[in-house]
Chain A
Amino acid sequence: MRSVRVWLEKDGRAIYTSHLDLNRCMTRAVRRAGIPLWYTEGFNPHPYLMFPLPLPLGQSSDGEPMDIRIETDMTDGEIFDALSRVMPEGFTVKAVREPWDKAGDVAMAQYLITLELADAVQAERTAAVIRSLIDGGELTAEKTGKKGRMKVVKEIKLSELIHRFELSWEGSFIKISAVLSAGSTVNLNPALMLDALCKAGGFEPVYTEIRRQKLLKSDFSDFE
């Protein structure tokens, strides 16, 4: 048995696949590729396949890591080829490598957010609004969580979770490049940040796209 990290681009119609569905979908892809997965032992054996950082529904990604355990002496290159042949529309295998970092080492993620506003005037105005909101450092969002059985609404300070934020605009488009906290303990979904910006700034884009570009470790180096 050995572990492999497969890097997948996710784009197009595939972005509407939820995390749970993605697991099932990729297990089948690995089966079609003829790569023997390693199964857990015990009463209800299941194949080992996991995503260190699930991607929210509706977002695309340059490269999502997927960890699998396999029972084969296929090389990384052979696995790359076999998987590439069977991927559903919207998924592209970018790389197959040994998992270098532990899944828990993910600390941040870098996103590219594209907003389309009604026109160039709106875009310019909105860009200024966003900038001042970020610079103000007061941005908050509400998050519903659970405390025991009770539903609780928590207010979270977003500025603490935003590590880098760059913004540019051209025509009716605004592009934001942001590095946000990510991982299993503290995680900021860029959609949540965007909602908070829209609410606080009183604007509504006509169209939005969010793309995850890479995962980072706490020292800002790439998660590999």
Chain B
Amino acid sequence: MLSKELKNILLKVQKPGRYTGGELNSVVKDSAGIAVRYAFCFPDTYEIGMSHLGMKILYGLVNEREDAWCERVFAPWLDMEKQMREHNIPLYALESGDPIKDFDLIGFTLQYELCYTNVLNMLDLAGLPVRSGERKALTPIVIAGGPCVCNPEPLAPFVDLFLPGEGEEVTNDIIDLLKKHKALGSTKQEFLKEAAKIQGVYVPSFYSVEYNPDNTVKAVTPSNGAPEKVKKRIVSDLDNCYYPDKFVVPFLEVVHDRTTAELFRGCIRGCRFCQAGFLYRPIREKQAKTVDGQCRALCGSTGYDEISLCSLSTSDYTQLYPLLNGLLEWTEEDRINIALPSLRIDNFPEELMQKISSVRRSGLTFAPEAGTQRLRDVINKNITEDVVMSTVKEAFDGGWTAVKLYFMIGLPTETLEDVEGIAKLAQKVVDEFYHNPNKPKGKSVTVSVSASTFVPKPFTPFQWEAQDTPEAIAEKQKHLFESNTTRKVNISCHKVYTSVLEGVFARGDRRLADVIETAWKSGCKFDGWDDVFDTEKWEAAFENCGISPEFYASRQRSFDEVLPWDHMDYGISKSFLINENKKAHEAVTTPNCREKCSGCGTNKLNGGVCHALCKGMA
């Protein structure tokens, strides 16, 4: 399946296993009987893409169909891209080795804004024009899903249709429709018109955007019968929703190389900075026995020796203890570890904790997110210093010597005092260790502080806020380093400019497409990789297009401004977000969804049902 040409270059690049395919459980079909060939593209490296659960779900789901074949495509690393371009090898899909330009659907998943240039680069490597208007034929249709689709505007000219929300149902709808139109010999326009009628499909070329003299959006007007507001799709019943019983098992070591179990979607916490917490609402839980069955099937088909229980805030899962008890019944004997990546350690029974590997291996992690109680109230992060201190105390009692703390810099209303609070809290954790009579003898403590930069995101209460300027962030980072007086505390911060860029695209409009294309043409790609990211090229791209990044990143919006993503409907009511924003500025917290529903509105997408409210699901 690998051509001689490809084999020749494979030994000249790092990690050729990224580009060969042929992994266990990858699906190879006879293309003769296939009506729709689907290239699922992850615009980052193989190792990152292969760790992504959404891709595994949709890959399995499409391949269940006899009339469709889904294959995987990742962004080739720089060395491979160079070889491919030199030898005229177009971007191909891993299963068949066939060039993806001949496929019917090319789907991208947009997990983070900094992958946008990779989308363009992959289309170009495939041998396709990057702008959808220049791709005249019915196929390939370029589609995109994933969290960034909540504001897809910066990519609007490149992608034929976006799929806001969850992909399980709408993917099949699109495949059915495309199959029909291929048989009919329809034009691309005819297909897109029909597609726009499906809930959860956004055809950007059917919407025209007008701007005010001050550069804000004046109006977004649909045409061709497309809906005024595009409502996201969700899956109502996770117990009966498709979940793969096989994962492709990579030969290479990838970031998350294990069985992943999804416990629920959504989050009851309502942290005001967290986009995922709002985007994936309403809350829908899976039954413990469903999860258990899925884990058994996956471990059996992959041979993995680790299960990761994955959800936004895993300990909020109402059936966590029954699930863990059930899993431990068979995993211990089979030497399978269980990892809980996002754990709130408060109230976690000790004997269960002992058996859970993540805690054992990586030490304790905490995400207070802000250094003072006032600021934690602003962002609605319901974790008090007392809880942090009592938990680290217990941990030190139990012999731990390493604690990792996650914070953000640049949160709304933040002052230098709040920044200093980060160093102080870390210092308190160090002190706690030395005051603890039961601390491990002869050992010292390390507290790692990771301070990322806050980026305001659409569909959060902070979507109107100004992002800190690069200068302000740099000053705060400097202040944080200066506030730290002990060598027991290690502080690491994110690069400033990449956060600004992320902020620009997160809340950007269509005019940014030119900047993305210009930057890409000048050589920008893999912008999420610090060692590849090129600040100067990006600055030049903004300048050449006459667009100021500050307008998008560091400008405070008013509540009545038309936002570029206002025509996307994620079920969250704007009045709820406004109310949350006002409460944030008064430092008033909102109870979590299990205590009280705050009327975010997303339950309407699910016939009024939100599992945050059902106590003890049957």
Contacts and interface: CB of A to CB of B under 8 A. Distances in A.
A207 B335 CA distance: 44
B251 A21 contact: yes
A22 B22 CA distance: 14
B7 interface: yes
B302 A21 contact: no
Contact of A18 (B17, B22, B303): B17
A16 B20 contact: yes
Which of A12, A22, A25, A30 gathers the greatest number of chain B CB atoms within 10 Å?
Answer: A25
Interface string A20-56: 1110110111111000000100000000000000000
A216 to B, nearest CB: 26
B13 to A, nearest CB: 10
B22 A31 contact: no
Contacts of B17: 16-18, 21
B10 A28 contact: no
Interface in B1-49: 1-2, 4, 7-8, 10-11, 16-17, 20-24, 26
A156 interface: no
Given A39-B335, A88-B24, A29 B303 contact: yes
A29 B22 CA distance: 15
Interface in B284-335: 300-305, 334-335
B253 interface: yes
Contacts of A21: 17, 251-253
A13 B21 contact: yes
Contacts of A58: 10-11, 16
Nearest to A24: B253
A30 B10 CA distance: 28
Nearest to A21: B251
Nearest to A34: B300
A29 B305 CA distance: 11
A29 B335 CA distance: 15
B22 A14 contact: yes
Contacts of A57: 11, 16
A171 interface: no
A198 B292 CA distance: 57
B249 interface: yes
A206 B4 CA distance: 9
A89 interface: yes
A28 B304 contact: yes
A89 B253 contact: no
A90 interface: yes
B10 A31 contact: no
Interface in A74-130: 86, 88-90
A165 B337 CA distance: 50
Contact of B251 (A17, A39, A207): A17
A27 B249 contact: no
A31 B305 contact: yes
Contacts of A31: 303, 305, 334
A28 B20 contact: no
Contacts of A207: 4, 7-8
A207 B1 CA distance: 16
Contact of B1 (A13, A27, A206): A13
A28 B302 CA distance: 7
Interface residues of B, number: 27
Interface residues of A, number: 26
Contacts of B21: 13
Which of B2, B20, B300, B301 gathers the greatest number of chain A CB atoms within 10 Å?
Answer: B20
Contacts of A90: 22
Nearest to A31: B303
Contacts of B249: 25, 28, 88
Contacts of A24: 253
A22 B21 CA distance: 15
Contacts of A20: 253
Given A13-B20, A25-B251, A32 B7 contact: no
A31 B249 CA distance: 13
B300 A16 contact: no
A27 B22 contact: no
A88 B23 contact: yes
Contacts of B302: 28, 32
A18 B17 CA distance: 8
A157 B55 CA distance: 51
A28 B303 contact: yes
A39 B22 CA distance: 29
Contacts of B334: 31
Given A28-B302, A32-B300, A32-B303, A88 B11 contact: no
A16 B16 contact: yes
Contacts of A89: 22-24, 26
Interface string A197-212: 0000000001100000
A36 B305 CA distance: 13
A13 B252 contact: no
Contacts of B10: 16, 58
Interface string A50-74: 0000000110000000000000000
A39 B26 CA distance: 29
B332 to A, nearest CB: 13
Contacts of A28: 24, 249, 302-305
A31 B302 CA distance: 9
A86 B301 CA distance: 9
Contacts of B305: 27-28, 31
Contacts of B16: 16, 57-58
Nearest to A47: B335
Given A18-B17, A58-B16, A207-B7, A13 B303 contact: no
Contacts of B1: 12-13
A39 B249 CA distance: 23
Contacts of A16: 10, 16-17, 20, 251
A27 B303 contact: yes
A57 B301 CA distance: 26
Nearest to A59: B11
Nearest to B10: A16
23 contacts: A13-B1, A13-B2, A13-B22, A14-B22, A16-B10, A16-B17, A16-B20, A16-B251, A18-B17, A20-B253, A21-B17, A21-B251, A28-B24, A28-B249, A28-B302, A28-B305, A29-B303, A31-B303, A39-B335, A58-B10, A88-B251, A206-B4, A207-B8
Given A27-B305, A90-B22, 9 more contacts: A13-B22, A17-B17, A25-B249, A28-B304, A31-B303, A58-B16, A88-B23, A89-B24, A207-B4
